[in-house]
Structure 1
């Protein structure tokens, strides 16, 4: 995959998935603006990219505000002359059950994930439209945003919102030749190392041990590097016709998520639906098609 001549911004790329994305984009030839709130982590990523023969600079700023988003775009343009790819990866966790979650915990996660994705995409879209040569915007979702997860009201809301924005932006930016897609990764990161059914596999990776096929295929779980190829692909000319999609990646598994769709439909006979009428029809026509919540794990992972 040749990304030579392309310029990319990767938010939250000082560690974990973001670092893997930035490193892979640089390996494929892109010049990369590495972003993180941790200056040491950002500079370490830049150093690794340069040692491998790539091109990168660090921009230390926390995403969320319009000013931060513009600073990232301005840095890309001042250093490399243009902007072709934006990867919205930055994120934080503030997990808690609904009845214990504070306003601050809710707002912090929404600010970084949802508002940060919005402000960075808006700034990038303005620049890409001005350039008139198209572009690639890649936003990071999560299985939690697709199906929910206990204790993650804020995170689920943000990740579901990101995929909704992706579908809208794909429509709005189509005429400009800018594609917008979401990746939905599963990988061993600081965000997953505390998840009970991943613990044994995180420990195995930390010990340098290979993961069993069950983890890599059934759970779609592996190191962050396993998810990086998808980002490089979506950033490339090979993905010029792909937009508005949510694509899952992790371990040995690649998947395409469906858009929400009506799965059962019934019609009243010109009278609308009363509560009693719904109660009569629901058990027979709808109950069997009710959707599950949370990730449905194989028995071995429970």
Structure 2
């Protein structure tokens, strides 16, 4: 048995999706389509928020940070994945593998923290509307963004550092990217500290963040119940609908993927890997669509940009928005 313990010289090989190696080329079609949709959708939202002064509000600033985190995780995942699918280029240096792991998992932690910040934003918007601009100042939004970034770095940095102390007996990773648990399983050392720390991060990020989001929405629901006007109730719920949809598409696949890795021994390997990829890509693709549909300001800005580029074919309703 070959044993590798010099991480600076190691090279792993990403297998891709076990059992579906012959279908990699066909699988690249939906994956590349999702990649293109993520790049376009998130870039459009970032461009609109950056160029439109009316969107420089706490909600949209936090949204732009979420889109930036989506782009970072996708850019560290998809190029290598598509090279693997198209050219069977699965070799990846250990340093590159650990770097990919850090940015993909770190971006996921940052996104979770930003969803908590956005839940707080919705709480203030519904429960303290008159003090919204006072409480959620731009300086507070910057601090929330920096806190989310610090949380991602502090929690994920120990993962690659702990992996560097291990001896690896297997170098072929049955995965499409350097997932933490997939790399841990390649080691022939005592990996209990790695597994415990990985579980600790999952419980802290998903458990604590969902608990904080739950508290925010419990206060929101309490405030909505006491509203006398039906229109006011609908308006309050509508302000939270986009964020609730994003929470569902973010945490549900993540929980299934995490539980499948640790408890789903009867789940086929290719289902594990497909789920692990979808939990990263699906929210990044759907977030711009959800906010584009639910948020009137974004719909209006997109229509305005389309009108500028195609003023001749704009209908009468679109012309009013352009004006």
TM-score normalised according to structure 2 size: 0.25
Higher relative contact order (CA 8 A, sep 6+): 2
Larger helix proportion, structure 1 or 2?
Answer: 2
Larger strand proportion, structure 1 or 2?
Answer: 1
Instruction: Select the structure of larger CA radius of gyration.
Output: 2
TM-score normalised according to structure 1 size: 0.26
